[in-house]
Amino acid sequence: MVKSLAEYQAEVTRSYEPARQAIQNQINALAGQESQGLQSLQNQYKLDQQTLERNRDTAAEAASLAAAGNGGSFGGQANIANRKYYAQTFAPAQSQLQTNFDKSRGNYISQINQNRMSLESQMANLASEAHRYGISRYDAAVAQDKQYALEQQRLALQRRQLDQDNRLAQYLNQVNQLSKENQRLRGSGFGRSSIDSSGRYVDRFGNQGVINPIQTTEKRNGRDVLVNTYIPGI
């Protein structure tokens, strides 16, 4: 008996489970990768920010020393140098650092999302493939079962035909043997007596017997008439 479609689908789903679980594990791992990656970008941003600040402090210290060495107003010349450094170097570098960080962070998140969507697409395709395969197996089993049933019917008909052919051959052989025997007996004057309507007869030795009738139909006056033909019992 062919299993149900649901049973085939359940079997196929179980066979696809290792592949599905492997993809699911990759999807689950993306969350951890995203968190670690963003933290790494944040840490690098802080280090770069600290480097800028150290460079700024170093430049301010150098400006102060230069002002003192020139004998000018320490505070005034240093402030001018610091403002110039901030405007020309520190501020653009800090702005670029923030821009680079935002871009790197956005690209990283976008890549993680693309990877996630790709894995989810693989998961959906796997489920679709499993569903189609389950239907394919079910259809193949149904077709095979139908073919088997048809083959069994054909073999049964063949056996019945062979059985009928064998019985007919046996019948014809016995009819032929009986005909030969009757001809021999009639030739020797010891044939059977006449057969009555029930098929009973008396042989040349006085023994009584019954002949099995073979029923056939004949056309008589436009009507089918049942005719009994008596031969020895099989």
- Note the pLDDT tens digit of each residue in 163-181: 888 888 888 887 778 777 6
Letter string b/e over residues 47-56, b meaning 16 or more CB atoms within 10 A of that residue's CB? ebeeebeeeb
- End-to-end alpha-carbon separation of the chain, Å? 42
Q: Structure pTM?
A: 0.56
Each residue of 88-140: pLDDT tens digit? Answer: 888 899 999 999 999 999 999 999 999 999 999 999 999 999 999 999 999 99
More confident residue, 77 or 157: 157
Q: How far apart (Å, rounded) are the C-alpha atoms in residues 142 and 12?
A: 17
More confident residue, 199 or 48: 48
Give just the sign of the alpha carbon dihedral 83, 84, 85, 87. positive
Q: Where are the domains of the chain?
A: 5-141, 192-234
Residues 21 and 13: beta-carbon distance below 8 Å: no
Cβ contacts of 95 within 8 Å, gap of 6 or more: none
Ranking 26-40, 129-143, 199-213 by mean pLDDT, the lowest is 199-213
